[in-house]
Structure 1
Amino acid sequence: MNREPLFLEPVFQERIWGGTRLAEQFGYRIPSERTGECWAISAHPNGQTTVKNGPFQGKMLGELWDEHRELFGHFPSDRFPLLTKILDANDDLSVQVHPDDEYARTYENGELGKTECWYVIDCEEDAEIVFGHHARTKKELVEMIENGQWDKLLCRVKVKPGDFFYVPSGTIHALCSGLLILETQQSSDTTYRVYDYDRRDQEGRLRELHLDKAIDVTTVPHVQEKVESAVVQMANATITMFIESEYFTVYRWDVHDQLELEQDKPFMLVSVIAGEGTIATEEGEWEIWKGNHFILPYQFGTFQVKGNVQMIVSHP
């Protein structure tokens, strides 16, 4: 039984729409002023995080999954199933859609599909997202895309800090500028671009679109999944469960002194998004602060969170 959290070293990805808020808000050492993504807990080949502490220090998360499945309760999956990111949308992201498992397995070399969700850590006033579309049939979807009727096609939603959005595969979506988001998703890097504002890359080329596949996988008409948070209020803490889906369950833990919990899942992914404190068991105590990401392994058991700290937590 491993009674030690697995702290992870994030991987950063530069993007045309990225910025510097990952450094400004979390103190990360980012590679450039166009840093768009912090892959915080990831075993995906395109960006693997590395264990920073304990007997597995220096191991990549994918290695740990392959060699020490007991840490994850022998969870029945051929790969680590989830990926946690923080995204700095300094500019609008492309409008995109993701495939489901079956489509991705067939057309993307066995990749997983991509259902995801967003927690708004911070945003500028009047920030918004693209979330869904107005087409009633596939024919109408194709016509609107071919005619460039983006204002007519795309649904836009105003957002504020603390908002949560569930984005199943097949949902047309985009983050817009001024957003800092924590994303929990299936461990997949498959994205089909529908529209990219006719932007050009550093070489002056229009970025590739994937319209045939995007039209194939888009849910028509758009289905708005109903998400109702469940809130448990305690003397010194609040636990909010945002979503319980077939791929992941996601919570926010707000601790204002001390909270005792039981880790009774195969494993839990934890991202500290505000404050600082400690995680304590009978075996030890570990400091945590804003920007930390770690896994509580199988049979971690009873533990206390102490301090003033806010975390986004997920498990499969």
Structure 2
Amino acid sequence: MTEPLFLKPVFQPKIWGGRKLETEFGYDLPDGDIGELWAISAHPHGPSTIENGPLAGKTLAQAWRDDQDYFGHQPGKVFPLLTKILDAEDSLSVQVHPDDTYAAAHEAPGELGKTESWYVISAEPGAYLIYGHHAKTRAELEAMIKAGQWDDLLRKVPVKTGDFFYVPSGTIHALNKGIMVLETQQSSDTTYRLYDYDRTDKAGHKRELHLQQSIDVTTVPHVDPKLNIQTAKVQDATITTFVQPPMSPFFAVYRIVLAGNLNQTAQAPYTLVSVLNGEGTFVADGGSSPIKRGMDFIIPNQITEWKFSGNLEMIVSTPGNEA
């Protein structure tokens, strides 16, 4: 096999979305406020479609079920990862996600928990995140949520372009206005909202809150993950390792900035790639494929060695030992 699996993304309208995916990335968006691009997804709420090769026309979910040669015959019933780009034209709800155990007990069959991470593609001056909380006990957390003491409860963290955040399940969090991120996460669409700024949709309806679930799953007290971000020069590339197992059990995430050539050997059953900037070529087994900004693809199990050539910025991820 000489080419990766190129994927057609799925666009998700959101009350907090905008149009930057069109103006900055050149995607042909549907009408409305588009908050999310599901770039590599097998989730039933938005599965990507394979655009090339023998699997062309299949969704990623169908390929995972029927064509495991491409993924190294992994044991999970569902493709475990999902990559997105989020455009926060307005602030997202303050939210928290469950772990696998809670999701299995309370959500639809097959739904995973949700640990995620954010690479900040861009952030306007003064932008900040909600990341964590100040409650010392679960009783204090519950009291502050029910009293609406958001300024006292929520932890605000300044953010700038190029930052990286690891967001384990149980972490209260929210992107705020003026931020665009590439998100690498478990394949889950379960979100428990605890605060949504009392805003309404175009029909005048408030979105549903999930206060008890949020109280149930939030980690108390909040503790920042101890990241060990490392950057290395490899051939003509600078590779930054943001997270990897064992600290991050569900995925590893890297950033590759290339000016020239980079030869690589597979370190996982398959590899996910999102091209954030530039253009170049993917070369494997004597074949080549042009790649450029806005493309998302999977390097399948059959390709064990490859070369990137060109001027490229990419976010690359691989499944972890619990994916």
TM-score (norm 2): 0.96
Q: Percent identity?
A: 56
> 5+ unaligned residues in a row in structure 2: which ranges?
none
Secondary structure in structure 2 of the residue aligned to 1:256: strand
2:38 equivalent in structure 1: 39
1:59 Cα shift?
0.8
**Alignment: residue pair count:** 315
For residue 232 of structure 1, what is the amino acid of its counterpart?
A
Q: Is the 8 A contact 2:235 2:261 kept in 1?
A: no
Are 1:268 and 2:267 matched, yes or no?
no
1:284 Cα shift?
0.8
Q: Is the 8 A contact 2:103 2:112 kept in 1?
A: yes
Give matches, 1:171-250, under 5 Å: 171-244=171-244, 245-250=248-253
Are 1:137 and 2:141 matched, yes or no?
no
1:98 Cα shift?
0.2
Give matches, 1:18-57, under 5 Å: 18-57=17-56
Structure 2 CA distance for aligned equivalents of residues 127 and 228 of structure 1: 24
Q: Is the 8 A contact 1:117 1:184 kept in 2?
A: yes
Structure 2 CA distance for aligned equivalents of residues 33 and 126 of structure 1: 26
1:95 equivalent in structure 2: 94
1:116 Cα shift?
0.2
Moved more, 227-236 or 147-156: 227-236
For residue 215 of structure 2, what is the amino acid of its counterpart?
I
1:33 Cα shift?
3.7
Give matches, 1:104-119, under 5 Å: 104-110=103-109, 111-119=111-119
Q: Is the 8 A contact 2:274 2:316 kept in 1?
A: yes
For residue 306 of structure 1, what is the amino acid of its counterpart?
S
Q: Deviating runs (4+, > 6 A) in structure 1?
A: none
Structure 2 CA distance for aligned equivalents of residues 221 and 38 of structure 1: 32
Secondary structure in structure 1 of the residue aligned to 2:24: helix
Deviations 1:226-266 (A, max 9, x none): 11212111352111110011100000011111111112310
For residue 207 of structure 1, what is the amino acid of its counterpart?
R
1:76 equivalent in structure 2: 75
Are 1:295 and 2:298 matched, yes or no?
yes
1:3 Cα shift?
3.0
Secondary structure in structure 1 of the residue aligned to 2:250: coil
> 5+ unaligned residues in a row in structure 1: which ranges?
none
1:162 Cα shift?
0.8
1:313 equivalent in structure 2: 316
TM-score (norm 1): 0.98
1:284 equivalent in structure 2: 287
Q: Is the 8 A contact 1:97 1:218 kept in 2?
A: yes
CA RMSD of aligned residues (A): 0.9
Secondary structure in structure 2 of the residue aligned to 1:26: coil
2:149 equivalent in structure 1: 149
Structure 1 CA distance for aligned equivalents of residues 285 and 196 of structure 2: 52
Secondary structure in structure 2 of the residue aligned to 1:225: coil
Secondary structure in structure 1 of the residue aligned to 2:142: helix
